[in-house]
Structure 1
Amino acid sequence: MENVVLICVLMTLLHLLWQVFFRKNKRDSHERAKLPPGSMGWPYIGETLQLYSQDPNVFFATKQRRYGDIFKTHILGCPCVMLASPEAARFVLVTQSHLFKPTYPKSKEKFIGPSALFFHQGDYHFRMRKLVQGPLSPDAIRNLVTDIEVLAVSALESWVGNKVINTFQEMKKISFEVGILAIFGRLESHYRKELKKNYSILEKGYNSFPTKIPGTPYKKALSARKRLSEILSTIIRERKEKRSIEKDLLGCLLNAKDDKGEVLTEGQIADNIIGVLFAAQDTTASVMTWILKYLHDDPKLLEAVKAEQKAIYMSNEEAHHPLTWTQTRNMPITYKVVLESLRMASIISFTFREAVTDVEYKGYLIPKGWKVMPLFRNIHHNPDFFSNPQKFDPSRFETAPKPYTFMPFGSGVHSCPGYDLAKLEMLIMTHHLVTKFSWEVVGSQSGIQYGPFPIPLQGLPARFWRESTS
C-alpha cells in the first residue's frame, strides 16, 4: 500500500515538474519571439489617418516593401499584424484557423446580427455554414439560371437610352434581386420592395460614425434593422403556415434541426439571411462593374468574349431558348475574364481575424487579442506570383495559380459560401451584355474610389444602347 502511495506521489511530482518545465519553455519561447517590425503611429489613432488619406493599397504595399511580408501597425483602434504571403494566409485561415477567430467591430455585428455565421467559429459556425452552403451549392443554383437570366435582361433593357447610369449602383440592384431569389425563391413584390428599402437605409449607416443621435445615418440604420427583423418575421410566419418544404435558403433554415431536434430561432434565421444579403450585394456588384470597365478598355479582348458568347447565343436561336447550366460551364474565355477581374480588382483586400492566444509565427509573436489581417490584394498583385500584375491579362489563368496565391473569396472554413452563385451571376450578366448591348464610359475612365470596396470612379458612369440583331 505504501509503495502505491509513493508511486502516486512521485507521479504527481513528475507531472508538476513537467507542467512547470513546459510552461517555462513556452514562456521562454514567447519571450524569445519578438513583435514583427513596423510602426504603430500615434497613441490610440495609430496609423488610421495615413491609411484613409491615400489609396489603402498604397499604404499596405509601402509597408510591405519596407518591412517585408509580416509587419505590425495600429489602425481602427486596434494593434494589428499584417500578413502578405500565401504561407501566412494559409497558416491563419486554414492550418491554424482555430487560433484565430473572426472579428468585426461591434457596430457592424449589431447591424447584421450576432447570430450570422461569419461572426462565429466552432460547432455553431460549422452547422450554419453547412446549412447556408446547401442552397448556394452548384447542385442547387443550376436551377436558378433561367431566373437570373430574366433579371439580367430586364436590368439591361432598363439602361438603354440616352441617359447616363451609375453602373455600380445598377449592378447592386441586380445582385440584391439575385440574393432575394436564392434566399426566398419567388418572393411577393411588396416584401421585396420593403426589404430593399430598409436594407438600403441599413447599408448607408453601416460605415457611418456610430452615434445614436436622431437623424444620423447610424440611428436610421438601427431603426431599419429593426424593421427588417419584423418583415422577415412575417415572411417566416407565412412560410411556416404553408408547411411547404422549399429548397431555397429560407426553407433550409426553417427545416433544420440539431442533434437534439431543436430548430433555429427566428433571430438566428433573420441574422443569417441579412448576412447573406450583405455578403452578396456590394462585392458581386463591384466585380461586375470592373468586368464591364476592363472589357471596355480592351477592344480586342471584348471581341474575343463577344465571339464566344455569340456562338452560344446563336445555338440558342438568338435567345429564343434560355441559357443552360451546361452552357455557363463552357465559357472558357469569359471565365478567365471573371477570374482576372477578381484578381485585379481584389474587392476583398483583406480579412480580419483575432488571435485567441499568443501565437508564434516564423519567429515573430502575435499577441493574444491582436488583429491579424491576411492581405489578399498584396498577394494577388505580387509579381512573384503573377507576372506584370498591374496588367489585365486573362490568359494568365490558362494555368492554375499556385496554392494560396489567388483567394478572391477568402480561404478555409470562413471562405465565402456563395462564390459559385456570384460567378454564375457574372457569367450570365456578361453573356447578355456583350451579345445584345454596346456601351461607352462617360467622363473620367481612370481612378478608383473606396466605399469601402474598390469601384471605378463615380461608379463608372456609362451610356448603353441595344445592338442591331441583323
Structure 2
Amino acid sequence: MDWQVGISLVVIIFSCFLWLVKGRRQTSYDTIRKDAKIPNGTNGLPLLGETLEFMASNYTTTHVSFMRKRRSLYGKVFRSNILGRPIIMSTDPEVNKIVLQDDGRTFVPSYPRTVVAVMGETSILSMTGDQHKKYHGIVAKFLKAVPVMERVAKEIEQSMELAFRRWKDKPQIYLQDEINQITFEILVRMLLGIDPGQEMDLVRTEFYELIKAIICIPVKFPGTTLYKSMKSKEKMVELIKEIIRYKVEKGQDSVPMITTLAIKYLTDHPAAIKQLREENLELKRQKIQSGEPYTWSEYTSLPFTQNVINETLRMANIVNAVWRRCLKDVEIKGYLIPKGWCIMTSFSSVHLDEEIYEDPFKFNPWRWEGKGQLNQNNFTPFGGGQRLCPGYHLAKMEIAVILHHFITGFSWVEAEPDTVTTFPRVRMKKKFPVIVSPISD
C-alpha cells in the first residue's frame, strides 16, 4: 500500500471516529430481540467494526474481495459493522430486488453526508414517497424524450469531429480525459443552449403559470394567481435543478468512464474489436450511401455494440451498491433486518458472481447473445425499482454514439499499461494513455 493510500486511510479513520461515536448512541445491538434471526456475521473491531478492511478492499483490483470472503463464511446475506453501525450486506439478487422495489414504506435512502451536501437536501436522491415518484417521473420523461435524444446524438457527433482534429496532431492522448472533455462540451451546450419548443416543453406549462403573476393582485393566498404562480416557480426551479443535477453528477462522470472502460476492455480482445468495428462500419457505409443523417435509434439498434456496453456495465460497476435504512423490523427470505439498521444491496457482487456469470472476471460480450430481455435481478447497473436511474436510456445511447465514431475512425494501442481503480470512484489509474491512428473505410 503506497503512502497516498496510507494517508487517505488515516484521514478516513479519524473522520469516521468522530462520526461513529455519535451514531453509536442511536443504534445498538442491544436493541435487537433475542430471538431475531439476524444474518450471521461479525462485529469486527471495537468502534471501527470492519471499516478498515472494507475500505482497503476498494483499493484493490478485486474490490469485491471483502464481500466474497464473507459470503463464503456466512452466506449470501450477512451482517457487518461499518463506521460503528450495524449493517446487513446482501449479495443475493432476490433480496436486492425486494429492497429496490420497496415504495419507501420500509426502506429509505441512507447516503453519506457528503452526498447530501453536494446534491442538496431537496435532491431527488433524498426524496421519498410521492414526492420522489413525481420528480423521478418528470426527469425520466425529459431525459428519454425523442428531441433530447436526437439533440444529444448530434452534439456528440460534432464533439467527436472536433476531437478527431485534436488527436491527429498528438503522439498520444489520455483517453479518459478526452472523453470527459467531449461529454463536458455537450453538457455546457445543452445547459446554455436549450432550444425552445423541444427540450423545454416539459417546463412550458409551469412557465406560463409563472408569468401570469407579473401583473396580478399581490395576494398570496391558496387559490390566488400569485400563490399558484409561486408554486409553479418552485416546481420549475426544482425540475431544472434535477435535470442539471442528473447531467452533472451522472452524465459527466458515468458515461465517459464506462466508454473509457469499454475501450480498455476491448484493447485486450482483438476479436471483439473486429466484430464491433465491422458492425459499426456497415452502419456508417449505409449512411454515406443514403446521404441521410444518423438517428439516435440507429446507434442503439446495433446488437453487438449493445453487448459490449452491457458487458462493460457488468464489469465496471460504476454504481456498485445502494444503501437503505430500515424503518421497521422486516423479514426477507428468513433474514431479519432490524429497524434502524442499514442494508447494502451489492450490485457488483451479483455482477461478478460465478454462479450467475461464467468466468465473471473475463470480458466476454458474446455472453449476452440470444439473451433477449435481460434478467433484471442479475443485472442492475442502473439500480432498480422506483429509483431506477431516470436517464439510463440516454446514457446507453451516448456511449453507443461515442463508440461508433471512435471505432470507425481510429485504431489504437496502449501507450503504457494501465489499471482500473475503484476508490473513491471508478477510474483509470493513469487516465488510459493511448496512441491513436486514423483508419479508412
Instruction: Assess same fold via TM > 0.5.
Output: yes
**Structure 1 residue corresponding to 2:97, chosen from 76, 82, 90:** 90
Instruction: Give 1:152's aligned amino acid.
Output: M
| 1:50 CA displacement | 0.9
Which of 309, 318, 336 is the matching residue for 2:280? 309
The structure 2 residue matched to 1:47, chosen from 41, 47, 50, is 50
Partner Cα separation in structure 2 for residue 91 and residue 408 of structure 1? 16
Q: CA deviation at 1:255?
A: 4.0
- Please point out which of 432, 436, 457 is paired with 2:409: 436
- Determine the structure 2 residue equivalent to 1:353: 324
Change (3 A) 1:137 1:270: closer
Q: Give the conservation status (yes or no) of the 8 Å contact 1:184–1:249.
A: no
Among candidates 407, 412, 422, match of residue 450 of structure 1: 422
Please tell me the residue identity of whatever aligns with 2:365: P
- Could you tell me which residue of structure 2 aligns to residue 117 of structure 1? 124
- TM-aligned CA deviation for residue 319 of structure 1: 10
From 174, 183, 187, give the equivalent of 2:182.
174
Deviation of residue 330 (structure 1)?
2.4
Larger Rg: 1
Mark the CA change 1:130 to 1:96 in structure 2 (over 3 Å): closer, same or farther. closer
Matched, 1:263 2:232: yes
Q: Which amino acid aligns with 2:278?
A: A
Structure 1 distance, partners of 2:393, 2:208, is 22
More helix by share: 1
Distance 1:115 1:245, change over 3 A: farther
For each residue in 1:397-423, what CA deviation from the matched residue of structure 2 results, as whole angstroms up to 9, or x when unmatched? 121443410011000111110101111
Select the residue among 371, 386, 397 that pairs with 1:413. Answer: 386
Check conservation: 1:136, 1:182, Cα contact below 8 A.
no
The 8 Å contact of residues 83 and 375 in structure 1, kept in 2 or not, is answered as yes
Count of residue correspondences? 384
Q: Secondary structure at the match of 1:72?
A: strand
Instruction: Name structure 1 gaps, 5 residues minimum.
Output: 1-28, 188-243
Decide which moves more: 29-38 or 59-68.
Answer: 29-38
- Aligned mates of 1:342, 1:263 — CA distance in 2: 38
Question: How many angstroms apart in 2 are the aligned matches of 1:66 and 1:51?
Answer: 16
Is the contact made by 2:103 and 2:129 (CA closer than 8 Å) also made in structure 1?
Answer: no
SS in 2 for 1:119: coil
CA RMSD of aligned residues (A): 2.8
Is contact 2:138–2:239 with CA below 8 Å preserved after alignment?
no
Contact 1:33 1:363 in 2 (8 A): no
* Shift in Å, 1:370: 1.7
1:250–1:166: structure 2 CA closer, same or farther, 3 Å change rule?
farther
Structure-2 change in CA distance of 1:178 and 1:64 (3 Å): farther
TM-score by length of 1: 0.74
Secondary structure in 1 matching 2:430: helix
Gaps of 5+ in 2: 1-31, 211-221
Kindly state the Cα deviation for residue 168 of structure 1 after the two structures are TM-superposed: 1.9
Pair 1:156–1:98, CA change in 2 (3 A): farther
TM-score, length-normalised on structure 2? 0.79
Q: Give the secondary structure class of the aligned counterpart of 2:78.
A: strand
Identity %: 29
Question: For residue 39 of structure 1, what is the amino acid of its counterpart?
Answer: T
Q: Structure 1: which amino acid aligns with 2:434?
A: A
